Structure 1
Amino acid sequence: MPVTVTRTTITTTSSSSGLGFPTTVGSARALTQPLGLLRLLQLISTCVAFSLVASVGAWTGNMGNWSMFTWCFCFAVTLVILIVELGGLQARFPLSWRNFPITYACYAALFCLSASIIYPATYVQFLSHGRSRDHAIAATAFSCIACLAYATEVAWTRARPGEITGYMATVPGLLKVLETFVACIIFAFISEPYLYQHQPALEWCVAVYSICFILAAVAILLNLGDCTNMLPVPFPSFLSALALLSVLFYATALVIWPLYQFDEKYGGQPRRSMDVSCGNRHTYYVCSWDRRLAVAILTAINLLAYVADLVYSARLVFVRV
């Protein structure tokens, strides 16, 4: 249901909160609604997380930078969402407001989840006992709180059976977010070219990750920009073709990546002890063998996501027919 706000009236909508009662927009009372209070919790928890870390300089290296970026980014976008809703500016927002908040909330939940795992695993455990470590542990706790808050928003605002809403609030839409996020994590782990440039088969895997990421990102952007009617084919058919292609591509990567990374016949290293970069454990550093294993696991996760996406997308096509 579109939201209309004038200078003298406050218009409400019952579909934005997903809780079964109206949400007030264009007024400070928007913050007293359950969804508004939840977003305030998101804002505060991410602010506290990056403030605790920044106050003692407790971030170093790629993983520390990733965590700091996550908390700052989530704080900034959540603040923008609150300002838009307080000012009743949804109609002037450049992206589809039916799709943007839940898309962002899903990304933010995954971002904060990754920071809550990566930051303590690659940074906090190496800190000596003291003020910096205490701040880092507290920041991790607030990151977990933010993750739960964003996940709760996704659960509250996702589409229910029979409900008319934006595509990104449906299961296939949320799966698109998961697929692109997992691909981003894969890119982070294969940021060192020596992991794949020695074998054309491994370069194919990198091409698979890139192509599927671009296709999923295009589907998300089309929905955020309300541009799905610009496609030469029906959008459900486009989604089904995209999901089928991605499943086939990822199936090849799931076989090729472990084969060439862990099978000695193809120059791989089946055991972690064979990787000299894993011999000495350095702070803030993830060795090559661990990176290869992480990519193999993430490839399997994304393949499962694309299979589920294909099932839901094919169902939409049959329903349309």
Structure 2
Amino acid sequence: MPVRFSDISNLTSPKAVVRVLEVLFGCAAFSLAASSGAARSSAFAAFAMFTWCFSFAATLVTFLVEFTQFHSLLPFSWKNLPVTLAAFAALMNLAASVTYPLMVMTVGCPRPWGRPPCSYQTAATICSCLAFLAYSAEVYIVKAEPADRGGYMATGPGLLKVLEVFVACVLFVSLATGAIPDSLGFRLCVAALCACAFMSLVVIVMMVGECRGRCPVPLARLLVAFNTLAVLMYAAVLVNWALHLSRQSDIVTGCPQMDCPKNQMVMSAFLTGVNLLAYVADLIYSIKLTCPRN
């Protein structure tokens, strides 16, 4: 089957315009950050650069694939993949917009001759915020489309799956960089978090790859069972960490704010609570899908 180009009039559609803005903002963000000379100053700067480069590349490929209609030659359905990438890109750009100015610009900016300090970093942060708004607009546009065009990943449960995986990744990073007690209880908590993240990722892969028909169990019931298990495990992890924090009555002194073990545990507990709420909402959605409609 030959590749057919899309109609030129489609380039003026809201989705196409938003994607052009995403490409421009992403390209501007990593170009400004690279020109600042602080692109590799820390892990947070590297994360921001990866976010902007990944968003730029993914959006450009998506735009070209849909314009050339190359997705008609792919062995899987295309309708779930773009919105999944847009949702991940929106969350990653949001994280980069927060961490880049807090963790990179506060450390210190180079003062080259002829321009004020942090000018490139500030402009990169502004472009990152605009990219987040553009990706959020794309997700909103796809979500407003009919269900047969947007697919499962454009619905509430699909977007919640993306949020669950993203928050879990941020949680793992905070656990890896923090001074977490080395005990059997905490190892079990981390194992539970990994299991939930893996199951959410499997669901995303199934939906993007249109593998629902190969599932031997009805998918709606499987999602209810999975979300129930995830809610119970996250609730147990949150209670365990809350009890651990209650035993630490004094904040460790003589260390930076973000490097204190208790503050890192508070951040991890907060992220765990956010994901717990996401799984509760996902469970409610799943129960509604399994209930018979009158």
TM-score by length of structure 2 reads: 0.91
Match of 1:243 among 204, 209, 227: 227
Give the length in aligned residue pairs: 288
Q: How far, CA to CA, are the matches of 2:123 and 2:129 in structure 1?
A: 10
1:1-321 equivalences under 5 Å are 26-59=6-39, 60-93=41-74, 95-128=76-109, 130=111, 131=115, 133-158=118-143, 163-164=147-148, 165-192=150-177, 194-197=179-182, 199-260=183-244, 262-264=245-247, 269-272=248-251, 274-278=252-256, 286-319=259-292
**Aligned counterpart, 1:13:** none
The one-letter amino acid paired with 1:255 is V
Give the AA of the match of 1:204: L
Q: Is the 8 A contact 1:27 1:87 kept in 2?
A: no
Q: How far, CA to CA, are the matches of 1:88 and 1:236 in structure 2? A: 32
> Alpha carbon RMSD of aligned pairs, Å?
2.2
Q: CA deviation at 1:271?
A: 3.9
Structure 1 spans left out of the alignment, 5+ residues: 11-24
Q: Take 1:302 and 1:214, find their aligned partners in 2: how far apart are those partners?
A: 14
Paired amino acid for 1:315? K
Residue type at the aligned position of 2:51: T
* Identical positions, percent: 39
Conserved 8 A contact 1:27-1:88 = no
Structure 2, unaligned runs of 5 or more:
none
Moved more, 64-73 or 27-36: 27-36
Shift of 1:180: 0.4
Q: Work out the CA distance in 1 between the residues paired with 2:30 and 2:75.
A: 28
Give the CA deviation at 1:30. Answer: 3.1
Task: State the alpha-carbon separation in 1 of the partners of residues 158 and 270 from structure 2.
Answer: 23
Amino acid at match of 1:63: F
Distance 1:196 1:222 in 2: 36
Change (3 A) 1:36 1:133: same
Residues of 2 paired with 1:223 and 1:320: CA distance? Answer: 23
- TM-score of the superposed pair, with normalisation by structure 1: 0.83
Contact 1:275 1:289 in 2 (8 A): no
Aligned partners of 2:91 and 2:63: how far apart in 1? 20
1:105 Cα deviation (Å)? 0.8
Q: CA deviation at 1:153?
A: 0.7
Runs of 4+ in 1 over 4 A off after TM superposition: none
**TM-superposed deviation, 1:57:** 2.0
Deviates further, 177-186 or 125-134: 125-134
Show CA shifts across 1:152-198 (max 9, x none).
Answer: 111111156x743411111001100000000000011011474142x
